[in-house]
Amino acid sequence: MAILFHSPWDNADQWLAALRAALPDDEIRVWPDVGPVEAIDFAFVWQIPHGVLATFPNLLGIASLGAGVDALVADPGLPRHVPITRLLDPLMADRMAEYVCATVLHHHLGLDVYGEQQSREHWQRHPTRDARDRTVALLGLGQMGQRCAQRLGALGFDLLGWSRSAKQIDGMRCSHGPEQMQQVLEQAEIVVLLLPLTAGTANLMDSAAFNAMPRGAYLINCSRGEAVVEDDLIAALDSGHLAGTTLDAFRAEPLAFGHPLWRHPKVRVTPHIASLSEARTAALILAEQVRRARNHQPLENLVDTENGY
């Protein structure tokens, strides 16, 4: 049998090398040069064009090359009888936690303020606060959110958590469901988005959500750009209601040249790098999924296509 591979990333060659090392007995075919479709029994993909996966009649499984699966689930021709998995690599969770801790600390310590002062050669100290007196809310409590909670908790921050369904995490006050979102936002000085893109999370952070946050609050989005209404965010920044934001995900990527978010003085932009998957570790996880499928064992990290993750 053979495996389908599709990735638009600039390190696709590294992925192919790692996958071939992990699956030495398999032929890995790179779309669109797939040969006879009947021979392909598994697919490793990221943002493959809609309709392509439906052309392979013998698929045993489909694996996303990242944690997000919204592009897959949005495919109207997706063969939904085939098990679909998302990549949950502990290394990716560690990378996300590093990014979130760094970004939270950057705001907590006022480094943007000191950076602006340096540009004016202005020496002025500002009052400092203990981490225990700063409330950080994590919206999304999956593998990534829980790892971020562990790391931020170790730093001493006061933590709130919100998820679609009820969860219990040590060191964090957890809430769940749409009816409890408002009270979480009202208490949070820093809000971190770690949510999958679903019908329930699209446009979640709009003017109403920003107004619910305390004046001077800070937003960090390292999940999906569609969760944030960009015009409402810019309005909240311009009015002074929000102190600033760090954005790692955008509605259209790459962020367009000339987009107002690039040069806004209260916005920090990173190019969707908060939790990059790593070929050398991910290949071993993906290879195990193939082995499980061929041995008629249930795949791990299955996607519920109805919920979107």
Q: Which of 224, 241, 259, 264 is catalytic?
A: 224
What is the 3-class SS of 159-207, one letter each residue? EEEEECCCCCCCCCEEEECHHHHHHHHHHCCEEEECCCCCCCCCCCECH
CA distance 3 to 137: 41
Does the annotation mark 224 as catalytic?
yes
Q: Which of 241, 251, 272, 292 is catalytic?
A: 272
- Burial of 265-295, coded b for 16+ CB within 10 Å and e otherwise, reads ebbbbeebebbebbbeebbebbbebbebbee
Does the annotation mark 296 as catalytic?
no
Rg (CA), the chain: 21
Using an 8 Å Cβ cutoff, are 271 and 254 in contact? yes
Using an 8 Å Cβ cutoff, are 138 and 159 in contact? yes
Provide the annotated active-site residues.
224, 272
